[in-house]
Amino acid sequence: MSQGTVHNWRITLTSYLDRRLLWVFLLGCSSGFPWLLIGSNMSGWLTDSGLTRTTVGLFGSVFVVYAINWLWAPLIDRVKLPFLYKNLGQRRSWIFLMQVIMLICTLSISYTDPSLNLCLTMILAFAIAIASSTQDITIDAFRIDSFQEHEKNKLPQAAAMTIIGWWTGYSLPGYFSYINADSIGWDGVYLWMTGFIGLLILFTLFIDEPDSNREALQAEAESDYAMKLQQMNNSFFLWFSVTIVEPFAEFFRRNGIKVALILLLFIFLFKIGEAFLGRMSIIFYKEIGFSNIQIGQYSKLIGWGVTVVFTLIGSALNIRLGIVKGLLIGGISMAASNLMFAVMAQIGPNEQLFLATLIVDNFTSAFATIAFVSFLTFLTGRAFSATQYALLSSLGNLGRTTLSLFSGVTVDWISTFNWLECISWLNPWSIFFIITTLMVLPSLTMLMGLHPYFRRLTNP
């Protein structure tokens, strides 16, 4: 290895010492934790309560909120919360308020029984989803605001710390949830979870509000719109135009309508297969014979460690490869890793295979997610960072949160369908995971077709 290469790698590694990356990590924990509350933990509770695969899959309809949160994202950019804004700033005030709402709802869920009152449990989970998706808008904007235009080389590092934080907030509490679920019950688990939300609130109070020229850029946009609308003399219409219209108009102006629409379609399709797999993973582990303790140890604790290590490695590789190559390599490997689950479905509850599958899956998922988050951040303008990033990420969430509702229905359909003799030897779960592998092909084809544009975008 040449001296120059060693020097470049040393610069890459020392770039992680930036204190702002610690804030990004802590907020990543806050972003990942609600997905445990209404996702993985809830799937475990519903399954242990005897509810069907289809019911568990459809319960995921609460996640639809994440696909439409861009509708109120403009408010996060523009509305200043009374009292909280003065003491915490624009970004932290919204995060703090949403965390308080989640704490109240989580405490309430601990006193419900989904097997007796599924509707009430779902309403509370839906409220958590609204608060969490609103928090996500603000956290993403916080990360973007923390790094200026000339610091684009730090996008992979920021994406890495976001992902590590997300998985830390999702997996470590998930580990303690699953190893204790049989002894204290799922209602006891949720009561304990309220304490973790309290810790997240302390994180929010601890971090610094990012410096940003957001308000100056918004004032400039207001001035432009005021000149165009001066004959109307309507201050509300001016506010509405800058708050609601301009964030979306600026995105389409900057990329062109045709390319912008293709970009949005690519973002929508990229992680659909992963979403189908993730929604059914807990049910799959339980049906092939793994216990709650094994799921906690392998899927949560070991999975978290593997994700942290491979996220750091993946971010360094993405810095060296570039965002576009990272997307292509990550997408192919992420799809291929789903085949490991198909093998596990055929063999059964083998702990060594479970570990190998998790290692491969977490590595490929981390690598692809870093490139994906970095790419979305690169596409986001600075004046309306909350709104534009929410629009982009919500499209990515659309597949994860809406189409994946039918993952349980799909498994049930495969299980009852009269398959041809040539594939009748395959376990229905194996067929399901093969289908999730094929789901990524349209987005990869689109990525290759847009490669020249992506190259100009990332190398102006």
Please give the structure tokens belonging to residue 207.
């971090």
pLDDT of residue 311: 76
pLDDT of residue 233: 54
pLDDT of residue 6: 46
pLDDT of residue 455: 64
Please give the structure tokens belonging to residue 66.
């994440």
Mean pLDDT of successive 10-residue segments in the chain (460 residues)?
51 65 88 91 89 83 82 81 88 93 95 91 94 90 76 69 87 90 92 93 88 63 59 57 67 74 78 75 84 85 81 69 72 81 87 86 78 73 64 71 71 69 70 83 77 63
pLDDT of residue 193: 92
Please give the structure tokens belonging to residue 374.
């970095």
pLDDT of residue 18: 72
pLDDT of residue 112: 92
CA atoms within 13 A on the CB side of 373: 30
Torsion sign, CA atoms 284, 288, 55, 300: negative
Please give the structure tokens belonging to residue 78.
């523009």
CB neighbour burial string for 130-151, b if at least 16 within 10 angstroms, e if fewer? bbbbbbbbbbbbbbbbbbeeee
Does the pTM surpass 0.75? The reply is no
DSSP string spanning 442-453? HHHHHHHHTHHH
Q: How far apart are CA 232 and CA 220, in angstroms?
A: 19
Dihedral angle computed from the Cα positions of residues 430, 369, 244 and 222, in that order, rounded to the nearest 10 degrees = -170
Task: Write the pLDDT tens digit of every residue in 194-247.
Answer: 999 999 999 999 888 877 666 666 566 656 656 655 555 555 566 566 666 666
Please give the structure tokens belonging to residue 430.
């194996």
